[in-house]
């Protein structure tokens, strides 16, 4: 018996076994959820398919979230396959590599547009198509980072995109609450993945956060556990929230001075 028995959900953003989305998928599968997977491009198919199959999934579809027609097509298939949905996980972000380092003021117009489109607007586009399949209510979850709130050098335009994403969570929660659909985000501490490797200086920041946070660095499994709560029935009236899964990093105002060099 699992707490997700009989629940069907779609997971966006598994790129490989290190993806946070995969940590979430495993946690939900352990609780009995029926999972469908959507991946970004053909080149990911051979990575995502065996992972999805290992948790018993038979719905594995490509969808580039910058393409409305592709999203429409995907949700038509969701309807045919499941006839309804209980939850959706958005674990997607992208910004051009040249905009994830150096000075924020040098962000290009195109880099800004792409980052906001893929990392933020896509949640709106997916939510709109998911709603008709959640007539009994449901739950949505997105992934964010502390760089939305406080300056994190090199995170740059992605910090701005995450700030927009966090505001989007609240506006969606307002709209969709009337339909008994909850919308929340997890603000995770840094985890080594394909996406994070693209941020300049990531390795050092992982070490720094690990040394400052009361409970050190977090794992994909830690995020998966929180996702179980937020997507499941125990979080029945929790909506519009950004929940930290960061080992407590966000509560710190300064690192322990003895740990600093000099
Ligand atoms: O430290 C970290 N890794 C943190 C990540 C800390 C806090 C938050 N996050 C967020 C990310 O910003 C993102 O929203 O978690 C989410 C998942 O990121 P991840 O697990 O770190 O990274 P990854 O495994 O690379 O998955 C992100 C995926 C893409 O991977 P690649 O590497 O191929 O860009 O987002 C997907 C894609 O699978 N993606 C898209 N999906 C559909 N359409 C698109 C697109 N156009 N672009 C990227």
* 145 counts as catalytic: yes
* 39 counts as catalytic: no
| Ligand 1 centroid from CA 93, angstroms | 4
- What local confidence, expressed as pLDDT, does residue 199 receive? 85
- Is 17 annotated in a binding site? The answer is no
Low-confidence ranges of the chain (pLDDT < 70): 262
**Of 39, 146, 155, 249, catalytic:** 155
Tokens representing residue 188 in the block: 């995770």
Nearest ligand 1 atom to the CA of 206 is 1
- What local confidence, expressed as pLDDT, does residue 197 receive? 87
Contacts of 173 by beta carbon, 8 Å cutoff, 6+ apart: 182, 183, 184, 239, 240
Of 129, 131, 125, nearest in space to 67 by CA: 125
Which sequence spans correspond to the domains of the chain?
Answer: 8-247
Q: Report yes or no: 203 and 147 within 8 Å, Cβ to Cβ.
A: no
Which residue among 15, 142, 204 is best mutated to probe the pocket of ligand 1, counting the most ligand atoms within 8 A of its Cβ? 15
- What local confidence, expressed as pLDDT, does residue 42 receive? 86
Specify the pTM: 0.97
- What local confidence, expressed as pLDDT, does residue 259 receive? 73
Cα(45)–Cα(53) distance, rounded to whole angstroms? 12
- What local confidence, expressed as pLDDT, does residue 262 receive? 64
Q: Ligand 1 site: residues with CB under 6 angstroms?
A: 13, 15, 19-21, 39-40, 64-66, 91-94, 118, 143-145, 188, 190-191, 193-196
CB count in 10 Å sphere of residue 125 = 16
Q: Could you name the CATH architecture of 8-247?
A: 3-Layer(aba) Sandwich (3.40)
- What local confidence, expressed as pLDDT, does residue 253 receive? 95
């Amino acid at each position: 018996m699992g707490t997700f028995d009989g629940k069907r959900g779609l997971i966006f953003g598994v790129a490989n076994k290190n993806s946070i989305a995969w940590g979430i998928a495993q946690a939900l599968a352990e609780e009995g959820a029926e999972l469908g997977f959507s991946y970004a491009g053909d080149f990911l198919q051979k990575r995502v398919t065996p992972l999805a199959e290992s948790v018993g999934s038979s719905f594995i579809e490509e969808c580039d979230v910058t393409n409305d027609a592709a999203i429409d097509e995907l949700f038509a298939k969701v309807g045919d396959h499941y006839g309804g949905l209980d939850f959706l996980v958005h674990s997607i972000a992208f910004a051009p590599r040249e905009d994830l380092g150096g000075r924020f003021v040098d962000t290009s117009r195109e880099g800004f547009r792409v980052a906001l489109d893929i990392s933020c607007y896509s949640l709106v586009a997916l939510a709109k198509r998911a709603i008709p399949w959640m007539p009994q209510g449901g739950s949505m979850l997105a992934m964010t980072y502390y760089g939305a709130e406080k300056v994190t050098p090199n995170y740059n335009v992605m910090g701005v995109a995450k700030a927009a994403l966090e505001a989007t969570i609240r506006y969606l929660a307002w709209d969709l609450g009337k339909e008994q659909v909850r919308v929340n985000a997890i603000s995770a501490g840094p985890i080594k993945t394909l996406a994070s490797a693209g941020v300049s200086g990531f390795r050092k920041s992982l070490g720094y956060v690990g040394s400052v946070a009361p409970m050190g660095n977090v794992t994909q499994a830690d995020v998966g556990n929180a996702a179980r709560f937020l997507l499941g029935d125990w979080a029945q009236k929790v909506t519009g929230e950004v929940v930290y899964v960061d080992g407590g990093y966000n509560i710190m105002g300064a690192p322990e001075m003895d740990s600093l060099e000099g």
